C-alpha cells in the first residue's frame, strides 16, 4: 500500500491535476476572464488610450478618494488592532470557559452576514435609534449626527473586520511556548518590560498577518461605507460603483479598479517578502 | 554552612502528594544533581526553587535569606530549560544581554558583557546569529551563557542535555562542568540519566515518589546505596533477598544460593532480619571452574549481550537471575546454555536494609 502510494506521487502523473480541473475552469470563466475584461476595458473604453489612467492618477477628486481610502483603511486597521489585541490576549490566556465564551461571541459576529451587521448599525445609530434616544435621555438636546458619517462607517468596518485581526493574533498567541515567558521571568523581566521585549515581538507575526488582511479587505470595502458613510467621504470602491452604475463610465471604473488591484498586489508582495523572513521566528 | 536550604517542602495537588517533606542543604559552589524517574518530584522541587511553583508547606532559603515569598523575577536565579527557551526574535548576543537589560545595564556595556560570556561558553563570533541558525549544542551554550551572565545566586539546569545526541551530550557534560567550576556557581542539575549524574555531580540526590531516597557523593550512591530502589536505579545490580543468619559473623542466607559472607553494612543488623544483598555485575567473576578464596556459585548461562569492549552475561543460579559484567575478551570462554562458575569476594556484597 505504502509502496504503491509513494510510486504514485513520485511519477509525474496527470490525474491529480485533472482533479483540479473543475476548480481551474471555474476560476478561468468567472475570475480570470472577467478580470482580463476589466483590464482591457480600462484601456479601450470609450476609445483606445491611456486617458482613463491619466484622469484617475491626476484628477484631484480621484486622488482625494484614493488617499481617503488608504487613510481609512489604515485607521480601521489600527482600531481593529486596538480592539482585537486585548481581546485575543484574553482568549489565549484566560480560563477555558471564559476563552470559549469570547471565542463564541467573536465567531458568532463573524458568521453573521455583514449586510445584516451593516443594517443593524443603521438601526442602532439612526436618528430614531436607541443611541440617539439615550443621548437625549441624558440631557443632550441636540445629539450629533451619528449615521452617514465617517464615524459610523469606521465603527461598522472595525466591527466587521476585527475578527480577522483577533483570529490571526489569537492563533499566534496560543502558539507561544509558556516556557519562553517563564524563562523571561527567571531572567528578571515582568510586567511592561516582559510584554515589550518578549511577548509583543513574539506576537508580531500575528499582528502583521491580521493587519495586512484587514487593510487589504478594507481598501476594497463597498457596502458598508456606501450605506453608512458620509457621501462626501467616499472610498474608492464606492466611487467605482458610481462610475459604473450611474455614469456608465466602464473605462474609468475599470481603470480605478486596476489601480486599486495593482496597489493591493504591491502591498501583498512587500508583505510576503518581508514575512517570508519573519516566518523564521515561528 | 549551607548556602541553599530546603526545609520540609511539601507540594500537593488535590489529593496527590508530589513532594513529601523534602529537606536538603547545598553548599556554596556545589554541583548537585537531582536524579529520579519521571514523576519522582525532582522537577517539581526545581520549579519550587525557581519560584514557578509554590510549595504547599516548607521554605527555601538562599544564603540565609528566605526566598519563598519572592516572585521568579526577584529571585536572581539562572535557569536553563529543557528546550533552552531562547527568544527566537533576538540574536544570540541579544538573548544573553536580555537579563542585563532587565537589570538596567546600558546597551554598550551589556552587549560587551554578553559577548564575553559567549566567549566563555565557546561561542565567540556567533553572537549575531538567531537561535534558528544555531545547532542544538550551540543553542544550549547560548542558554547557559544567558543564565550565567547576570551572576545568579543559583544555576538551575532542567534536563538540559535531553535533546542532544550522545556524543554532543558527553561533550556538553564536560563543558558545563568546566564552566561551572570556573565560575564557582552553586548548581542544581535535574536529570533522569544516571551516567550524566555520576560523571558531573559533587553530590547526587535520588528522588522517588516525592521523597529523597538518598543524597550522597556519586561513588557512595553507587557502592553504598541505602535502599533497593537506589541500588536498582543506579547502575546495574544483582539484588538478592536474604536473611541475616549471624550479624556477629557477618553472614546472610538466601534459600537458593546458600550462605553469603558480607564485609559491612551502613546500618546495625540483627539476626533473622530480612535484607537485600547487592552485588554489582562487574564485581562478579566468570570462570569454568571454582576459584579458590572466593564465594563460588554455579550458573547456567541464558543470554550473552556483547558490547564489544565488554559483555553482559545473564544466567540462572538456582532460582535467582544473576547478571555478570565481563571484559569482551573473556566472554569467548562461554556460550549460551552452558554451565559455568560465578564468584565474588565478601567485600563485594553490600547489605541493604530498606
What residues of chain A lie within 8 A of the CB of B77, using their CB?
186
pLDDT at B336 over 90: no
A177 contacts B73? CB cut-off 8 A: no
- Is residue A9 in some structural domain? no
Q: What CA–CA distance (Å, rounded) separates A127 from A146?
A: 8
Q: How confident is the model at residue B354 (pLDDT cuts 50, 70, 90)?
A: confident
Nearest to A186 among B79, B83, B89 (CB): B79
- Give the end-to-end CA distance of chain B in Å, rounded to a whole number: 30
pTM of the predicted model as reported, rounded to 2 decimal places: 0.81
Nearest to A185 among B73, B78, B83 (CB): B73
B71 contacts A185? CB cut-off 8 A: yes
- Is residue A8 in some structural domain? no
Interface size A-B, in CB pairs within 8 Å, comes to 72
CA distance B87 to chain A (A): 7
- Is residue A205 in some structural domain? yes
CA distance B85 to chain A (A): 5
Asked whether the beta carbons of B199 and B326 are under 8 A apart, the reply is no
What average pLDDT does range B220-248 have in this prediction? 86
What residues of chain B lie within 8 A of the CB of A201, using their CB?
87, 89-90
What average pLDDT does range A269-276 have in this prediction? 78
What average pLDDT does range B64-79 have in this prediction? 91
The total domain count for chain A is 1
Q: Which residues of A touch B (CB under 8 A)?
A: 177, 179-180, 182-190, 193, 197-198, 201-202, 204, 280-282
Identify the structural domains of chain B with CATH numbers, from first to last: 4-228 (3.40.50.300), 236-352 (2.40.50.140)
Q: What CA–CA distance (Å, rounded) separates A34 from B27?
A: 79
Q: What CA–CA distance (Å, rounded) separates B314 from B301?
A: 6
DSSP-derived 3-state class of residue A166: helix
- Is residue A221 in some structural domain? yes
Q: What CA–CA distance (Å, rounded) separates B94 from B116?
A: 13
Q: How confident is the model at residue A5 (pLDDT cuts 50, 70, 90)?
A: low
What average pLDDT does range B263-273 have in this prediction? 76
- Is residue A16 in some structural domain? no
Please give the share of chain B, as a percent, with pLDDT higher than 70.
98
Please give the pLDDT value at position A100: 92
Place of cell 544555576: B155
B169 Cβ partners below 8 Å, 6+ apart? B161, B196
- Is residue A14 in some structural domain? no
Please give the pLDDT value at position A281: 43
Continuous H helices in A126-190: 130-137, 150-175, 178-186
What residues make up the domain containing A238? 62-281
Q: Which residue of chain B comes nearest to A202, CA vs CA?
A: B89
Q: How confident is the model at residue A280 (pLDDT cuts 50, 70, 90)?
A: very low
What average pLDDT does range B167-177 have in this prediction? 87
pLDDT digits over A234-260, tens only? 889 988 988 888 888 899 999 999 999
- Is residue A49 in some structural domain? no
Q: How confident is the model at residue A8 (pLDDT cuts 50, 70, 90)?
A: low
pLDDT digits over A98-133, tens only? 999 999 998 888 888 888 888 889 899 888 888 888
pLDDT at B318 over 90: no
Q: Which residue of chain B comes nearest to A187, CA vs CA?
A: B99
| Partner A contacted by B1 (CB < 8 A) | no
Instruction: Specify the CATH number for the domain of residue A233.
Output: 1.10.3720.10
CA distance B124 to chain A (A): 22
C-alpha cell at position B252: 546472610
pLDDT digits over B254-266, tens only? 877 778 888 877 7
Amino acid at each position: 500500500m505504502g509502496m504503491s502510494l509513494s510510486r504514485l506521487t513520485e511519477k509525474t502523473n496527470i490525474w491529480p491535476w485533472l482533479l483540479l480541473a473543475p476548480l481551474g475552469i471555474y476560476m478561468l470563466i468567472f475570475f480570470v476572464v472577467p478580470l482580463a475584461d476589466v483590464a482591457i476595458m480600462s484601456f479601450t473604453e470609450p476609445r483606445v488610450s491611456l486617458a482613463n489612467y491619466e484622469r484617475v492618477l491626476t484628477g484631484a477628486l480621484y486622488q482625494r478618494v484614493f488617499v481617503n481610502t488608504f487613510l481609512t483603511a489604515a485607521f480601521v486597521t489600527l482600531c481593529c488592532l486596538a480592539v482585537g489585541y486585548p481581546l485575543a490576549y484574553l482568549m489565549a490566556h484566560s480560563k477555558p470557559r471564559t476563552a470559549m465564551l469570547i471565542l463564541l461571541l467573536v465567531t458568532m459576529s463573524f458568521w453573521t452576514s455583514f449586510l445584516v451587521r451593516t443594517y443593524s448599525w443603521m438601526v442602532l445609530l439612526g436618528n430614531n435609534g436607541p443611541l440617539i434616544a439615550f443621548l437625549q435621555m441624558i440631557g443632550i438636546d441636540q445629539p450629533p449626527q451619528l449615521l452617514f458619517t465617517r464615524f459610523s462607517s469606521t465603527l461598522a468596518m472595525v466591527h466587521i473586520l476585527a475578527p480577522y485581526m483577533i483570529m490571526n493574533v489569537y492563533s499566534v498567541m496560543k502558539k507561544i511556548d509558556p516556557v519562553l515567558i517563564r524563562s523571561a521571568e527567571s531572567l528578571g523581566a515582568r510586567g511592561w518590560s516582559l510584554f515589550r521585549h518578549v511577548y509583543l515581538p513574539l506576537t508580531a507575526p500575528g499582528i502583521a498577518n491580521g493587519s495586512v488582511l484587514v487593510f487589504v479587505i478594507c481598501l476594497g470595502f463597498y457596502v458598508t461605507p456606501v450605506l453608512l458613510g458620509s457621501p462626501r467621504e467616499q472610498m474608492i470602491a464606492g466611487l467605482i460603483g458610481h462610475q459604473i452604475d450611474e455614469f456608465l463610465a466602464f473605462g474609468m471604473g475599470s481603470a480605478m479598479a486596476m489601480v486599486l488591484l495593482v496597489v493591493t498586489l504591491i502591498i501583498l508582495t512587500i508583505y510576503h517578502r518581508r514575512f517570508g523572513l519573519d516566518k523564521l521566528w515561528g | 554552612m549551607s548556602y541553599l536550604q530546603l526545609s520540609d517542602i511539601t507540594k500537593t495537588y488535590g489529593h496527590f502528594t508530589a513532594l513529601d517533606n523534602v529537606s536538603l542543604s547545598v553548599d556554596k559552589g556545589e554541583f548537585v544533581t537531582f536524579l529520579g524517574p519521571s514523576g519522582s518530584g525532582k522537577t517539581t522541587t526545581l520549579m519550587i526553587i525557581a519560584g514557578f511553583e509554590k510549595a504547599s508547606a516548607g521554605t527555601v532559603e538562599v544564603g540565609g535569606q528566605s526566598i519563598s515569598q519572592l516572585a521568579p523575577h526577584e529571585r536572581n536565579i539562572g535557569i536553563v530549560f529543557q528546550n533552552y527557551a531562547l527568544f527566537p526574535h533576538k540574536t544570540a548576543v541579544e538573548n544573553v544581554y536580555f537579563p542585563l537589560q532587565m537589570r538596567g545595564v546600558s546597551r554598550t556595556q551589556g552587549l560587551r558583557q554578553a559577548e564575553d560570556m559567549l566567549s566563555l561558553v565557546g561561542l565567540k563570533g556567533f553572537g549575531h546569529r538567531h537561535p534558528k541558525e544555531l545547532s542544538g549544542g550551540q543553542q544550549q551554550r547560548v542558554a547557559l551563557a544567558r543564565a550565567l551572565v547576570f551572576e545568579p545566586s543559583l544555576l538551575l539546569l532542567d534536563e538540559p542535555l535531553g535533546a542532544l545526541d550522545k556524543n554532543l551530550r558527553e561533550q556538553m557534560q564536560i563543558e558545563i562542568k568546566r564552566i561551572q567550576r570556573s565560575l564557582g556557581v552553586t548548581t542544581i542539575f535535574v536529570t533522569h540519566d544516571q551516567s550524566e549524574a555520576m560523571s558531573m555531580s559533587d553530590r547526587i540526590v535520588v528522588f522517588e515518589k516525592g521523597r529523597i531516597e538518598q543524597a550522597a557523593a556519586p561513588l557512595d550512591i553507587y557502592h553504598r546505596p541505602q535502599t533497593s530502589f537506589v541500588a536498582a536505579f543506579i547502575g546495574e545490580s544483582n539484588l538478592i533477598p536474604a536473611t541475616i543468619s549471624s550479624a556477629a559473623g557477618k553472614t546472610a542466607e538466601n534459600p537458593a544460593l546458600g550462605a553469603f559472607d558480607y564485609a559491612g553494612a551502613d546500618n546495625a543488623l540483627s539476626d533473622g532480619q530480612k535484607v537485600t544483598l547487592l552485588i554489582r555485575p562487574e564485581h562478579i567473576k566468570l570462570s569454568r571452574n571454582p576459584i579458590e578464596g572466593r564465594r563460588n556459585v554455579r550458573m547456567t548461562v541464558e543470554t550473552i549481550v556483547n558490547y564489544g569492549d565488554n559483555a553482559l552475561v545473564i544466567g540462572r543460579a538456582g532460582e535467582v537471575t544473576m547478571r555478570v559484567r565481563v571484559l569482551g575478551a573473556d566472554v569467548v570462554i562461554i556460550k549460551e546454555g552452558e554451565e559455568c562458575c560465578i564468584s565474588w569476594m565478601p567485600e563485594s556484597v553490600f547489605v541493604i536494609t530498606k
